[in-house]
Amino acid sequence: MFMPNTSDYTIFKDFIEKYHPQRFEHISRLDPFMIAMEAALRNNNQFFYIADLLNIKIIFTSWGSQKIIGISPEQVDPSTFFPRAHPDDQERLNRAQTKLYKMGQGLFIDRKGIYIVSIQLREQNCEGDYINFFLQTYSFFSEAHHTVFTVLVATDLSALKFSKDYYYAGNDPFLFRYPDETLLNDNHRFSHREVEVLRLIALGLGSEQIADKLFLSVNTVDTHRRNILKKTKKSSTHELLIELQENGVL
């Protein structure tokens, strides 16, 4: 049987091309394309849905939702992930979702373009245990149907090793791909410790206060601050914090 490529996400581009004319409605799960797609997703511990972003309506969800999070495709809705997220990650998810809807409106106003939002967080699996998940959305304006559609891909990351809290919001299509260790450990992302430091800076804490709270030396905190600015090529943490808050990172 033909096995589509999921590593570069050609499979999702083919899905969009095939079913966009029918507005992603009345998709037959017995279609050979869908059978092959489900097999590929199952092999990667993934499932996906396609949604009308402006009308906040999910049109189609793949079978993997039942196996991975214990929810049947018919029961998946736009609020599915929030209550299942770890309490410490719910605020990050909320910001990412807010960013998603905001940029969807922007695509509609511009009548063109794509936008990608990706976030790593802890979600409950089908057994109720918190495991590392990766949520990726690929949104695009549809002239034919006068709306914005979003493909959301959910990946069980429990078998992968990585050391950073990943977040991306932008229009680089290269970053909409399978979340392997290369993507997750991208040097332009922040380490867990750097995210902790950023969150405390956002709360107004200085280096000494952050050092006390994280049981680090002031020198180590200052090193983290310098590394963060170096990675992002920003001249000040104030400038960086404004950008991260606007993008939903903090």
Statement to judge: residues 90 and 175 lie in one domain: yes
Q: What is the pTM of this model?
A: 0.77
Helix (H, G, I), strand (E, B), or coil: what is residue 71? coil
The answer to the question of residue 83 being in a domain is: yes
Q: According to the model, what pLDDT value does residue 156 have?
A: 95
Enter the tokens of residue 17.
């091309």
Statement to judge: residues 27 and 117 lie in one domain: yes
Statement to judge: residues 118 and 203 lie in one domain: no
Statement to judge: residues 18 and 92 lie in one domain: yes
Instruction: State mean pLDDT over 73-99.
Output: 92
Looking at the structure of the chain, the number of domains it has is: 2
The answer to the question of residue 71 being in a domain is: yes
Separation between Cα atoms, residue 242 and residue 250, nearest integer Å: 9
Instruction: State mean pLDDT over 122-130.
Output: 94
Statement to judge: residues 178 and 206 lie in one domain: no
Residue 82: phi, psi to the nearest 5?
-60, -55
Q: According to the model, what pLDDT value does residue 46 have?
A: 96
Statement to judge: residues 57 and 170 lie in one domain: yes
In the beta sheet, which residues pair with residue 149? 52, 140
Statement to judge: residues 61 and 18 lie in one domain: yes
Q: According to the model, what pLDDT value does residue 1 have?
A: 41
- Say which CATH number the domain at 85 has: 3.30.450.20
The answer to the question of residue 209 being in a domain is: yes
Measured over the CA atoms of residue 195, residue 167, residue 96 and residue 109, the dihedral's sign is positive
Q: Is the pLDDT of residue 87 over 70?
A: yes
Statement to judge: residues 82 and 151 lie in one domain: yes
Instruction: State mean pLDDT over 126-131.
Output: 93
Statement to judge: residues 175 and 58 lie in one domain: yes
Amino acid symbol at 217 = S
Statement to judge: residues 51 and 165 lie in one domain: yes
Statement to judge: residues 22 and 58 lie in one domain: yes
Q: According to the model, what pLDDT value does residue 191 have?
A: 67
Using the 3D structure, point to which of 184, 211, 227 is the last residue of a domain: 184
pLDDT tens digit sequence for 200-224: 998 899 999 999 999 999 999 999 9
Q: For residue 101, give its domain range.
A: 10-184
Q: According to the model, what pLDDT value does residue 199 have?
A: 83
Using the 3D structure, point to which of 184, 203, 225 is the last residue of a domain: 184
In the beta sheet, which residues pair with residue 69? none
CB 27 within 8 A of CB 122: no
- Say which CATH number the domain at 219 has: 1.10.10.10
Instruction: State mean pLDDT over 80-88.
Output: 94
Q: According to the model, what pLDDT value does residue 99 have?
A: 87
The crossing angle, in degrees rounded to 10, of helices 218-232 and 237-246 is: 60
Q: How confident is the model at residue 248 (pLDDT cuts 50, 70, 90)?
A: low
pLDDT tens digit sequence for 142-192: 999 999 999 999 999 988 776 667 888 888 887 899 988 778 876 556 666
Residue that is written with structure tokens 């993997």 in the block: 64
**How much is the mean pLDDT over the chain?**
88
Statement to judge: residues 114 and 175 lie in one domain: yes
Provide the residue count of the chain.
Answer: 250
Using the 3D structure, point to which of 184, 207, 225 is the last residue of a domain: 184
Q: Which residue blocks in the chain are alpha helix, DSSP H?
A: 10-19, 32-43, 64-69, 81-84, 90-110, 181-184, 192-202, 207-214, 218-232, 237-246
User: What DSSP state is assigned to residue 75?
Assistant: G
